[in-house]
Structure 1
Amino acid sequence: MISIVIPVLNEASHIKEVLNHTLSLAGDFEIIVVDGGSEDETMKIVDSFPVVQTCSSVRGRSHQMNAGAALAKGEILLFLHADTFLPDNSLLKIMAVMKKESLVGGSFFLKFDHKHWILSFYTGLSKINSSFFTYGDHAIFIRNSVFKKIEGYKPLSFMEDIEIQFRLKREGKFVKLPVGVVTSARRFVEAGPVKQFFLDVFLVGLYHIGFSADSLKRFYKDWNSSIKLKEQNNE
């Protein structure tokens, strides 16, 4: 079984559609939504899906994903962003590839719900099986036993998706599946696609050469925080 862990924070605009789509997929799976303190209708929407398990945790993706993993019953953990759609037969593909005992996990590549040349270029880069081009919105999946062995995500404020790949690859092989998830391009649209792309590459590059996640986090704006700030300014 696959345990799909979805960390959420003020995701009322996307979570219903994502849950409906995910529940329509073929395969043996459970869904665990972990709330980091949403102040909108997110959890009211989630609670309308009785088959979806919920819990709350300290805010922050690393904390939320660890909390969800602690409740998971599946042999495989799949960490899914609340604005991201898995491809058809994705769960069956994961179960098939993870029959290889040498694999500790993997991810999909990334496609966007918005057309722009830089986003198409980004999609091409995301097909490369490297921690430099593989992030949390690619829907990372990990063998549960290995996740427990490495003690899950480190409690980082940023770059937790890249850091865990360093430790996973010491345990075995990490695969990039030749199919793509579709995610919202909202942060690219808000900041400007070219500006956001080069910011992402710059920050990931600095992290790879030794800059701490906390020192880089201040240059990366949380989408949910920006929404809340706009709402407060409009009141």
Structure 2
Amino acid sequence: MLSLSIVIPTRRVGPHLKPCLDACRRSLPGAEIIVVVASAGADSVQPVEQSDPLGLPGPIEGATHVLSATRGRGPQCNAGASVARGDLLLFLHDDSILPRQAAALTQSAFASDQVELACFRLRFDDAHWLLGVYGWFSRFDSVLTSFGDQGILIRRRAFDHLGGFPQWPLFEDVELLRRARRRARVLKLPGVVTTSAVRFRRNGMVRQQLMNAGLILRYLLGAAPTRLAELYERDRG
């Protein structure tokens, strides 16, 4: 059986992590869980001194590594991967909830040595019909339908071969998947990751999707991810 490490980049330590971590322990009970907290001043991976860093009860202690790394999903994911021990790496957003059948789906998919990379499908925690449409398209793999909020499962050897994530604050997931497709097919698992729809509720269902589409179009046309990240943060408020 393949060993698995889960890497969760986050901006801060707090109770918002609990649903994600509870689902990780429930769905992938044998997995190593690595939380990587953003630190504007950190140029290298640093362990976080802690007795109970997440404010959670005992089961998290000893089962989770907490690191500090330069802010940005690319740097934070790479920092987590640098200490991970699993044959498989799962990069997961801190507001994403894994499906209960994640372990069975993962082991079944990666039983074939030919499979190097997979993502789950996506569902939002809001029943709005338009979000249902967005989620439905996540069953297909393309540059417009596969992102980090679906969870990215990748073999360690493939991750190392690809050189990890680019050290970008935005679209690091899109770039990793683009590189990976030159090497192997990205498998879409039938399980569904549930993620937060807070930005859609705050900014409007259509407006937020248009903002997302505009940013990725600019990225595909060659805009610098650092500049796009600034625009994303501005719109995020």
Quickly name the TM-score band, shorter chain normalised.
0.7 to 0.9
The answer to whether the aligner puts 1:158 opposite 2:170 as a matched pair is: yes
Q: Distance in 2 between matches of 1:127 and 1:155?
A: 27
User: For residues 28 and 164 of structure 1, do their structure 2 counterparts lie closer, same or farther at Cα, with a shift above 3 Å needed?
Assistant: same
The answer to whether the aligner puts 1:119 opposite 2:131 as a matched pair is: yes
Partner residue, 1:109: 121
How high is the sequence identity, in percent, across the aligned residues? Answer: 32
Whether the 8 Å contact between 1:86 and 1:180 is mirrored in structure 2 is yes
Whether the 8 Å contact between 1:46 and 1:52 is mirrored in structure 2 is no
Give TM-score, length-normalised by structure 2. 0.86
Whether the 8 Å contact between 2:147 and 2:173 is mirrored in structure 1 is yes
Extract unaligned runs of 5+ from structure 2. 41-51
Deviations, residues 139-197 of structure 1 (Å, cap 9, x unaligned): 01111111111110001121101001111112222111122100011111111121101
Partner residue, 1:14: 16
Q: What does 1:52-201 correspond to in 2, within 5 Å?
A: 52-201=64-213
Partner residue, 1:35: 37
Deviations, residues 46-94 of structure 1 (Å, cap 9, x unaligned): 6852021111111111111001101111111000111110001212211
Deviation of the 1:99 alpha carbon: 2.0
SS at match of 2:89: strand
Whether the 8 Å contact between 1:15 and 1:46 is mirrored in structure 2 is no
Cα RMSD (Å): 2.2
Whether the 8 Å contact between 1:5 and 1:80 is mirrored in structure 2 is yes
Moved more, 48-57 or 21-30: 21-30
Q: Distance in 2 between matches of 1:172 and 1:27?
A: 28
Extract unaligned runs of 5+ from structure 1. 227-235
Deviations, residues 106-157 of structure 1 (Å, cap 9, x unaligned): 1011101112222111111212111211111110111111111111000112
Whether the 8 Å contact between 2:26 and 2:100 is mirrored in structure 1 is no
Deviation of the 1:12 alpha carbon: 2.4
Partner residue, 1:232: none
Whether the 8 Å contact between 1:11 and 1:82 is mirrored in structure 2 is no
